Structure 1
Amino acid sequence: MPYVLLAFGALSLLLAVNAHVPRRSALLLVPSFFAGWLTIEMAPHLLVLEIAGLGLLAAGGGLDAWPGWAGLLLGLGGAAGTVATIIAARRTVVTLRDSGVPFDLDPEDAPRYPRSHLVVPPLCLIPRRGVKVQRNIVFREEGRLRLKLDVYRSAADAPGGGLRPGLMQVHGGAWIIGDKREQGLPLLNHMAVQGWVGFNVNYRLSPRATWPDHLLDLKHFIAWYREHAEEYGADPDFLCVTGGSAGGHLAAMVALTAGVPEFQPGFEDVDTGVRGAVPFYGVYDLVEPGPWPVPMGATPFMQKMVLKKSFRDEREAFAKASPVTYLNEDAPPFFVIHGSRDSLIPAGEARRFVEKLRDVSKAPVLYAEMKGGQHAFDVFPSYRTARVVEAVERYLTGLHRQYREGVRGAVPDEVADSLERR
């Protein structure tokens, strides 16, 4: 038993260290990410397990020899690291880089994310009270291809019988895995409670699909939305887009390529523009290395699995798959979100994209870097996720209010007011 306690304590300390200093080597990148992701976003639950485990092992004879005492000390050190992670999350304040002021996420009158979901994370898989979900609606059907989506909306009718704003959610998964049932659920549920209609959209995945199949499918969704939005109580003229990781890349592409003919063959005349974009921890430039050791597009994965082209010989194809290529003055408002401890996509990737977009776009470009946040931090309804979800709702609701008032190109008052309160 002493050696079991030693192993348990060592594992606890290792998880804490990895959460604060993730490994980035090729061999340890993926396991380090998953361990850090779970440790950071499930820290309160991990702390309970650590304390319970140490107590049970100690009571069961773990302290009968020196290895057990060593394990107890290591475990207490790991628990202390987990406590530090919890404190950092509880102090979550989204800082708008280059604005010089913090974004207060805790106004007294803001709709709050339910605390029950923070205690029991799987509850996010169940529609929140007052939300109804329609699943597996086919939005594109060609031959054997059947692409589906889920709709999240309020069970109550819109005030005055009017139409509600629409939100398109694009899942991540490195363009090769992922599904509408797995991602964006905390945000979509919260948005539905606040009167939005959310569409969690599937698209074809690599390696069976080859870029730009993924983007074409999302454009087909927008064309479908223009025709069918009112059937679900949504305004066909108002749609925003969000997504994380590969979904963040695709959300940015959707927002920046409205009307680009090669991405909507056969329906070139359809308006595929969106009113706002909120990409989470995305990839925005496949050509220039920036914070990467080599350009993202030059990796064997992107060349063999996604684009199926040689980066050296067909560099232009990778440029056409990069959101940064399509920066323009008429881009919709962006709210870019990234975690400072993202071990899969460095935060520098988001910073350089925001800087370039701000130089070109007439619309506001906000950037929130979550201190201590890992990649995919919003999949779990953690305390950090709750604060960000609340902020995104206020931001997008502000954009919708401006749309109703005929205003464009300003930071929503909901955001400006929160900045002034600080």
Structure 2
Amino acid sequence: MSQGFLVRQVLNAALTANALRPVPGMPASVAAFFAGWLTSELAPQQLGATVVDAAVHVARRGARTPADRVGLALAAASAAGLTANIVASRRAGSEVSAALAEIGVDDPGAGRPLDWRSAARPFQMRRSGVRRVRNLEYAPGGKRFWVDVYHHRDTPPNAPMLLQIHGGGWVVGSKDHQGLPLMVEMAARGWVCAAVNYPLSPRAKWPAHLVAIKRAVGWMRENATRFGGDPGFLTVTGGSAGGHLAAMVALTANDPALQPGFEEVDTAVQACVPFYGAYDFTGESEIKAVRQRIESGLTEMIFGKDATVPDDYLAASPLAKLRADAPPFLVIHGTNDTLIPVAEARVFVERLRAVSANPVAYAELRGAQHAFDIFHSIRSDQVTRGVAAFLEAVRAGTVGAAVRPVSDPAE
């Protein structure tokens, strides 16, 4: 019993330490992500389990052996670390509110008490009145060209629209598993939202992913009135690979080279909210982790062995597509992201701000890992509220333009 308790607490302490300070380096990045992501966003649940485990052990066995005492010490250390994680998560609301304030957007939810009930039910995605219409075909080709539409049963006419693009490294992922808290929240507010699939590598080669998303944009506009949406107001969001694709949609509006056979379709969007996206496909940011990603087998899977380097890579890089008429952006990234470095987001924001005539807000979340928004948590629910404030301000035309420089991108 003592040895089992000790083993559990060793594992618990390791997970907590990795959540606070992820294991560095490309080889460990995926493992560090999975362990850190779940621990960070489920820290209250893990803290409760730690306290219960320690209390039950003391009640049954006390602290008679060295293994008992080491296990209890590790439990105490884990509890302290998890508490620190929870405190950092609670700051997410103020971090997003501060980012919005810089572009003149007021966050009406700032300072409100946390909804602990939502965080306590992380995988509960239902909301009263919100309907989900599944597996609609936006283009021929099977399930990779399906979209789910979320809308409220009382959606007003000409409702604003939001398109969600899933992540998964351009090779995995599904509309069914990502962005759901934001989809449901915006639908509950009267927006028409859609989560979209797209063809995946290695079968699909760039730019097939982006071309499909642009087809989905056209489909949304064509079918907007069917669900009560406004075809003239469409915004886009996504995480990781989806964040990259969302940025590319926003920065390549109506590019005929990316709209083969539907060149006349309007693919412009009115705002973009990329979460922990990839923005550099050539290494021009000079960030070590970015260069390692570019040189990895993943990039070859996306572009194929016959891709022209650097021209094809440059064509897929948001950093190479910056434009003065880019729509308003809210860029979101966590400091503990082990899959896509936070420095990459800083470079993108700095350079987009230097070019764009529209505001570019940047929310850097202390302690957040990759994919922190996939389910409800203390952090993700506050960020969702802030994203809603940003999108509704864009809709209302009340977004300003004041910004400040981001942190040093050379980290």
Q: Of residues 390, 410, 421 in structure 1, which corresponds to 2:400?
A: 410
CA-CA distance at 1:51 after TM superposition = 1.1
Kindly provide the amino acid, as one letter, of the partner of residue 122 in structure 1.
F
Kindly provide the amino acid, as one letter, of the partner of residue 218 in structure 1.
I
Question: Do the aligned partners of 1:287 and 1:297 also contact (CA within 8 Å) in 2?
Answer: no
Give the corresponding residue for 1:89.
89
Q: Of residues 291, 310, 320 in structure 2, which corresponds to 1:295?
A: 291
SS of residue in 1 equivalent to 2:265: coil
Give the corresponding residue for 2:124.
123
Cα distance in 2 for partners of 1:18, 1:10 equals 12
Cα distance in 2 for partners of 1:242, 1:3 equals 47
Q: Of residues 256, 260, 264 in structure 2, which corresponds to 1:261?
A: 256
Q: Deviations over 1:353-392 (max 9, x none)?
A: 0111111110111111011111111112111111111111
Alignment of 1:357-368 (within 5 A): 357-368=352-363
Q: Deviations over 1:219-264 (max 9, x none)?
A: 1111112211110110111100000000000000000001111211
SS of residue in 1 equivalent to 2:331: strand
Kindly provide the amino acid, as one letter, of the partner of residue 128 in structure 2.
R
Kindly provide the amino acid, as one letter, of the partner of residue 124 in structure 2.
L
Q: Deviations over 1:166-208 (max 9, x none)?
A: 0000011111111111011110111011110100011111111
Give the corresponding residue for 2:324.
329
Question: Do the aligned partners of 1:4 and 1:62 also contact (CA within 8 Å) in 2?
Answer: no
Gap runs ≥5 in structure 2? 404-411
Q: Deviations over 1:288-331 (max 9, x none)?
A: 253334526632323331111477x5211000011111111111
Question: Do the aligned partners of 1:42 and 1:382 also contact (CA within 8 Å) in 2?
Answer: yes
Cα distance in 1 for partners of 2:105, 2:11 equals 36
SS of residue in 2 equivalent to 1:378: coil
Question: Do the aligned partners of 1:279 and 1:335 also contact (CA within 8 Å) in 2?
Answer: yes
Question: Do the aligned partners of 1:302 and 1:308 also contact (CA within 8 Å) in 2?
Answer: no
Question: Do the aligned partners of 1:297 and 1:318 also contact (CA within 8 Å) in 2?
Answer: no
SS of residue in 2 equivalent to 1:28: helix
Kindly provide the amino acid, as one letter, of the partner of residue 118 in structure 2.
H
Cα distance in 2 for partners of 1:225, 1:76 equals 52
Q: Deviations over 1:83-131 (max 9, x none)?
A: 1111121233216579879987564798x9854321111112xx21121
Cα distance in 2 for partners of 1:341, 1:300 equals 21
Taking a change above 3 Å as real, the CA distance of residues 278 and 327 of structure 1, as seen in their structure-2 partners, is same
Give the corresponding residue for 1:383.
378
Identity among equivalent pairs (%): 42
Q: Deviations over 1:14-41 (max 9, x none)?
A: 1121111101233322111111101111
Q: Of residues 389, 392, 395 in structure 2, which corresponds to 1:394?
A: 389
SS of residue in 2 equivalent to 1:270: coil
Give the corresponding residue for 1:419.
none
Question: Do the aligned partners of 2:108 and 2:389 also contact (CA within 8 Å) in 1?
Answer: no
CA-CA distance at 1:274 after TM superposition = 0.2
Cα distance in 1 for partners of 2:318, 2:277 equals 10
CA-CA distance at 1:152 after TM superposition = 0.8
Taking a change above 3 Å as real, the CA distance of residues 257 and 368 of structure 1, as seen in their structure-2 partners, is same
Counterpart check, 1:271 vs 2:266: yes
Give the corresponding residue for 1:251.
246
Give the corresponding residue for 2:302.
306
Question: Do the aligned partners of 1:94 and 1:104 also contact (CA within 8 Å) in 2?
Answer: no
Question: Do the aligned partners of 2:107 and 2:389 also contact (CA within 8 Å) in 1?
Answer: no
Alignment of 1:221-260 (within 5 A): 221-260=216-255
Cα distance in 1 for partners of 2:132, 2:167 equals 21
Give the corresponding residue for 1:283.
278
The count of aligned residue pairs is 400
Cα distance in 1 for partners of 2:350, 2:50 equals 42
Q: Deviations over 1:58-83 (max 9, x none)?
A: 33436342111111111111111101
Taking a change above 3 Å as real, the CA distance of residues 278 and 305 of structure 1, as seen in their structure-2 partners, is same
- The RMSD of aligned alpha carbons is 2.5
Cα distance in 1 for partners of 2:116, 2:101 equals 31
Cα distance in 2 for partners of 1:106, 1:401 equals 14
Cα distance in 2 for partners of 1:89, 1:102 equals 24
Cα distance in 2 for partners of 1:300, 1:157 equals 45
Cα distance in 1 for partners of 2:77, 2:329 equals 41
Give the corresponding residue for 1:420.
none
SS of residue in 1 equivalent to 2:26: coil
Which stretch shows the higher mean deviation, 268-277 or 92-101?
Answer: 92-101
Kindly provide the amino acid, as one letter, of the partner of residue 134 in structure 1.
V
SS of residue in 1 equivalent to 2:69: helix
Counterpart check, 1:28 vs 2:21: no
Question: Do the aligned partners of 1:278 and 1:334 also contact (CA within 8 Å) in 2?
Answer: yes
With structure 2 as the length reference, what TM-score do the two structures score? 0.91
Kindly provide the amino acid, as one letter, of the partner of residue 132 in structure 2.
V
Cα distance in 2 for partners of 1:46, 1:182 equals 22
Question: Do the aligned partners of 1:138 and 1:146 also contact (CA within 8 Å) in 2?
Answer: no
Question: Do the aligned partners of 1:94 and 1:103 also contact (CA within 8 Å) in 2?
Answer: no
Question: Do the aligned partners of 1:340 and 1:373 also contact (CA within 8 Å) in 2?
Answer: yes
Question: Do the aligned partners of 1:164 and 1:234 also contact (CA within 8 Å) in 2?
Answer: yes
Kindly provide the amino acid, as one letter, of the partner of residue 148 in structure 1.
W
Give the corresponding residue for 1:68.
68
Cα distance in 2 for partners of 1:322, 1:101 equals 25
SS of residue in 2 equivalent to 1:165: strand
Question: Do the aligned partners of 1:286 and 1:296 also contact (CA within 8 Å) in 2?
Answer: no
Alignment of 1:50-61 (within 5 A): 50-61=50-61
Taking a change above 3 Å as real, the CA distance of residues 213 and 302 of structure 1, as seen in their structure-2 partners, is same
Give the corresponding residue for 2:182.
187
SS of residue in 2 equivalent to 1:262: helix
CA-CA distance at 1:410 after TM superposition = 3.3
Gap runs ≥5 in structure 1? 416-422
Cα distance in 1 for partners of 2:107, 2:59 equals 43
Give the corresponding residue for 2:9.
9
Taking a change above 3 Å as real, the CA distance of residues 348 and 377 of structure 1, as seen in their structure-2 partners, is same
